[in-house]
């Protein structure tokens, strides 16, 4: 996520950012100040887009302590605010919580294995192996894909979010497959816009427990962060819209009942495919976070692979598409199933 400006010292890895609402910052009188929450955060987190600011709010990471005019010396308690349109007044306090996985140290180049499928002056397309973390976070200060990419292409350091340079989308730690990094600011802006407009083609293959009733289906269910387990996501009426299409490619009945699915993202929420498939009773095989680890097959990671990635090339304006073959561990499980 990267909450920090480029000139901030990231080594301290704070767990929250506190911002006071002051009329002087807006050239207004205290009694006249009224500003939307998303506009307020956009001003003080100016390196982030409005959409990403609203995402912070929708994910429950922003809290507000308003000032009650009748009790200026005894303000209300701090409370999570999910409305980007919430109006703020002089004297209020806004707190942005930084989840543990996003409390980032300084991102340094570090040589490592990097499977480059395509590279030009605008983009770097890589094939991420399962088990490789995309960017540094809590418990993963070294050996990430971004650090390897920085060693390969040092110019990434100044592109996009300083906490995850060049990154325009992510793959989970246990997910393998295709990832594109931007090498220039204009390429970064173009790719971020394409992901935001949902025009990027993202197709996955997943091995799931059980057999879906229909050969083709759509999971249309909002996803939000779990209140009880903040590192997990869950289907929630208060979450953000999320849609995953799937098609059954093959059904296996022995030694266990599983199915191979082709999945296509229509939105891009955290853990989306894993959460959606679990929600319909068919968790990804090996996914211990969402009910997919059952003591058999035991692949050691969720069998989810980002197989196809297509977008409009930022430099040429032409559509490009890349494909990644299933990795060895995924193929081995399929061979065991016959």
Q: pLDDT confidence of 75, banded at 50, 70, 90?
A: low
Higher pLDDT, 126 or 103: 126
End-to-end C-alpha distance for the chain, whole angstroms: 41
- Residue 121 in tokens: 């002056």
Query: Can you tell me the mean pLDDT for 7-34?
Result: 72
Phi-psi region for residue 210, left (φ > 0), alpha (ψ -120 to 50) or beta? left
Higher pLDDT, 47 or 193: 193
Active site residue 172: yes
**Three-class DSSP labels, the chain:** CCCCCCCCCHHHCCCEEEEECCHHHHCCCCCCCCEEHHHHHHHHCCCCCHHHHHHHHHCCCEEEECCCCCCCCCCCCCEECCCCCCEECCCCEEEEECCHHHCCCCCCCCCCCCCEEEECCCEEEEEECCCCCCCCECCECCCCHHHHHHHHCHHHHHCCCCCCCCECCCCCCCCEEEEEEECCHHHHHHHHHHHHHCCCEEEEEEEEECCCCCCEEEEECCEEECCCCCCCEEECCCCECCEEEEEEEEEECCCCCEEEEEEEECCCCCCHHHHHHHHCCCCECCCCCCCCCCCCCCCCCCCEEEEEEEEECCCCCCEEEEECCCCHHHHHHHHHHC
- pLDDT at residue 106, as a whole number: 55
CB-hemisphere CA count at 13 Å for 240?
Answer: 21
Tell me the C-alpha distance between 188 and 156, whole Å.
Answer: 10
- pLDDT at residue 203, as a whole number: 98
- pLDDT at residue 7, as a whole number: 41
142-151 in b/e burial notation, b at 16+ Cβ within 10 A? eebbbbbbbe
Query: Can you tell me the mean pLDDT for 170-182?
Result: 96
Query: Can you tell me the mean pLDDT for 104-122?
Result: 78
Average pLDDT of the chain, as a whole number: 87
Looking at the chain, the whole-number percentage of residues with pLDDT higher than 70 is 87
Q: pLDDT confidence of 87, banded at 50, 70, 90?
A: very high
Q: Could you give the residue range(s) of every CATH 3.30.2350.10 domain in the chain?
A: 100-196, 198-338
205 neighbors 333 (Cβ within 8 angstroms)? no
Given the residues 127, 161, 172, 287, the one annotated as active site: 172
160 neighbors 182 (Cβ within 8 angstroms)? yes
Residue-wise pLDDT tens digits, 49-63 = 778 888 889 989 999
Q: Could you give the residue range(s) of every CATH 3.10.290.10 domain in the chain?
A: 10-98
- pLDDT at residue 30, as a whole number: 87
Residue-wise pLDDT tens digits, 234-266 = 999 888 999 999 999 999 998 999 999 999 999
Tell me the C-alpha distance between 215 and 177, whole Å.
Answer: 24
Q: Nearest Cα to 89, choosing from 31, 18, 44, 24?
A: 31
Residue-wise pLDDT tens digits, 129-143 = 999 998 776 566 678
Q: pLDDT confidence of 225, banded at 50, 70, 90?
A: confident
- pLDDT at residue 70, as a whole number: 59
Higher pLDDT, 7 or 294: 294
Domain 100-196: which topology? Pseudouridine synthase (3.30.2350)
Tell me the C-alpha distance between 185 and 167, whole Å.
Answer: 11
Residue-wise pLDDT tens digits, 297-335 = 889 999 999 999 999 999 999 999 999 999 999 999 999
- Residue 254 in tokens: 């022995």
| Res 3 pLDDT > 60 | no
- pLDDT at residue 239, as a whole number: 87
CATH class belonging to 10-98: alpha beta
Query: Can you tell me the mean pLDDT for 169-174?
Result: 94
On whether the pTM is more than 0.95, the answer is no
* CATH code linked to domain 198-338: 3.30.2350.10
Tell me the C-alpha distance between 222 and 235, whole Å.
Answer: 6
- Relative orientation angle of helices 50-58 and 37-44, to the nearest 10 degrees: 120
Q: pLDDT confidence of 9, banded at 50, 70, 90?
A: very low
| Res 294 pLDDT > 50 | yes
Q: pLDDT confidence of 4, banded at 50, 70, 90?
A: very low
């Amino acid at each position: 996520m990267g909450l920090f400006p480029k000139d901030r010292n990231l080594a301290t890895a704070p767990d929250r950012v506190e911002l006071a609402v002051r009329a002087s910052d807006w050239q207004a009188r205290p009694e006249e100040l009224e500003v939307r929450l998303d506009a307020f955060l956009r001003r003080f987190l100016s390196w982030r887009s409005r959409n990403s600011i609203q995402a912070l709010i929708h994910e429950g990471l922003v809290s507000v302590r308003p000032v009650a005019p009748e009790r200026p010396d005894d303000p209300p308690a701090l409370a999570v605010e999910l409305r980007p349109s919430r109006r703020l007044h002089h004297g209020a306090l806004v707190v942005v919580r930084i989840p543990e996985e996003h409390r980032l140290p300084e991102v340094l180049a570090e040589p490592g294995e990097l499977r480059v499928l395509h590279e030009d002056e605008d983009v770097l397309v890589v094939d991420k192996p399962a088990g490789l973390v995309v960017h540094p976070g809590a418990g993963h200060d070294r050996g990430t894909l971004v650090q390897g990419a920085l060693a390969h292409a040092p110019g990434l350091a100044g592109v996009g979010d300083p906490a995850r340079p060049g990154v325009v989308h992510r793959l989970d730690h246990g997910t393998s497959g295709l990832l594109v990094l931007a090498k220039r600011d204009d390429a970064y802006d173009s790719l971020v816009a394409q992901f935001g407009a949902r025009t990027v083609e993202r197709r996955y293959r997943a091995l799931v427990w059980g057999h879906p009733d229909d050969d083709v289906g759509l999971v249309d269910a909002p996803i939000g962060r779990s209140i009880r387990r903040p590192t997990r996501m869950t289907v929630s009426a208060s979450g953000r819209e999320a849609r995953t299409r799937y098609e059954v490619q093959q059904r296996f009945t022995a030694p266990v009942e599983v199915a191979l699915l082709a999945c296509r993202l229509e939105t891009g929420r955290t853990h989306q495919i894993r959460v959606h498939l679990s929600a319909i009773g068919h968790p990804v095989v090996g996914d211990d976070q969402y009910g997919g680890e059952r003591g058999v097959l035991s692949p050691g990671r969720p069998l989810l692979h980002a197989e196809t990635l297509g977008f409009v090339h930022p430099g040429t304006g032409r559509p490009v598409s890349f494909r990644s073959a299933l990795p060895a561990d995924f193929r081995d499980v399929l061979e065991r199933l016959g």
